[in-house]
Structure 1
Amino acid sequence: MPGAIELPVEILPMSATDIDDVFAIELGVCPFPWGPGNFKDCLQSGYSCRVCRIGGELVGYFVVMLAVDDAHLLTIGVADKWQGKGFGARLLRHAMHVGREQGAQTFLLEVRPSNAKAVSLYRHFGFKQIGVRRNYYPAENGREDALVMTYPLAELTT
């Protein structure tokens, strides 16, 4: 598009000052959102917490916890107005690289079966389902299972 201005996309370490904006996104995209305290705890625990900014606006985030040889994606989210534009894929790819840089051999995550967009994204990346955690997530009418999916980080390319 002639004359269009490309805004810079940055993926940066999350800081305590980002938590209100991260929580606002979390409220909009998760049926049972984490609270600000969850994100503060992750920062204090030294987990890999990142935010995505476009022209300074916070549009997404992720949290990865390293556990032995696994990088475990604890949460990932993209603001509603930025969904469908490739930012979820960009954040996921970055999270996987963070895990590999920290020495993880595999990337692990749980996802609600009802979250079809997320399941599709993970399968597109080559994640394989390795199990089900019964009654893992809170749901409107009780609990919902989680699909456990994994990806071998040795296969990760740019």
Structure 2
Amino acid sequence: MHVRPAVEADFSAVYQIEQLAHFHAWPESVLRRYFSREHCVWVLENNNRIIAYAVITLVAGESELLMIAVDPKQQGQGAGRVLMNALHDFLLEQQAEQWFLEVRESNHKAIALYESIGFCQAGCRRNYYPTANGHEDALLYCLELQA
């Protein structure tokens, strides 16, 4: 498995994963906006096929994981961890100080992954994410990257 910054030619594969992996997927226009920024969208390839992607921002020492998705056919095989570890290394190289993310309170697998990497819950946004039956909370997590 190999992690690298995305290029324009990766857009259709990334957008397809976004559509398959999320109940309330990002519109194409939003994803395209992040593709136009350097080192913002990252992909994980396996056998020359994109199986996961992530979107991060880094401003003034603070990074945010805006989106991460693994092809549903590839979930549960460690792809998310590989991608998160590569992003962690990149952010350390960039001397980021903190890394933030939000996660659906029902996404127990993602929460377990984030906590195993060292993220700690820092807050909650009530009724943030849409669901089939209304809304659910977003849990806010933070990881200190520099001591």
TM-score (norm. length: structure 1): 0.86
Q: CA contact under 8 A between 2:95 and 2:146: conserved in structure 1?
A: no
Name 1:4's counterpart in structure 2.
Answer: none
- Report the Cα offset of residue 63 of structure 1: 0.8
Of 1, 10, 15, which residue of structure 1 is paired with 2:7? 15
Larger displacement relative to structure 2 (92-101 or 145-154)? 92-101
Does residue 154 of structure 1 match 2:109? Answer: no
- Report the Cα offset of residue 23 of structure 1: 1.3
Stretches of structure 1 that go unaligned for 5 or more consecutive residues are 1-8
User: Could you give the per-residue CA deviations for residues 71-114 of structure 1, whole angstroms, max 9, x where no partner exists?
Assistant: 10000111122111111101011112222222210111000001
SS of 2:146's equivalent? helix
- Equivalent residues in 2 for 1:96-115, closer than 5 Å: 96-115=88-107
SS of 2:65's equivalent? strand
Please give the alpha-carbon distance, in whole angstroms, between the structure 1 residues aligned to 2:65 and 2:78. 18
Name 2:72's counterpart in structure 1.
Answer: 80
Does residue 141 of structure 1 match 2:133? Answer: yes
Please give the alpha-carbon distance, in whole angstroms, between the structure 2 residues aligned to 1:84 and 1:105. 29
Runs (4+) of structure 1 exceeding 4 A deviation are: none
Of 106, 110, 126, which residue of structure 2 is paired with 1:118? 110
Q: What root-mean-square deviation, in Å, do the aligned CA atoms of Structure 1 and Structure 2 show?
A: 1.5
Aligned partner of 2:44: which letter?
A: C
Larger displacement relative to structure 2 (102-111 or 139-148)? 139-148
TM-score (norm. length: structure 2): 0.92
- Equivalent residues in 2 for 1:2-81, closer than 5 Å: 9-46=1-38, 48-81=40-73
Larger displacement relative to structure 2 (133-142 or 86-95)? 133-142
- Report the Cα offset of residue 47 of structure 1: 5.0
Please give the alpha-carbon distance, in whole angstroms, between the structure 2 residues aligned to 1:41 and 1:98. 21
Q: CA contact under 8 A between 1:64 and 1:99: conserved in structure 2?
A: no
Q: CA contact under 8 A between 1:47 and 1:66: conserved in structure 2?
A: no
Name 1:127's counterpart in structure 2.
Answer: 119
Please give the alpha-carbon distance, in whole angstroms, between the structure 2 residues aligned to 1:30 and 1:105. 29
Identity of counterpart residues, as a percentage? 34
Please give the alpha-carbon distance, in whole angstroms, between the structure 2 residues aligned to 1:38 and 1:98. 23
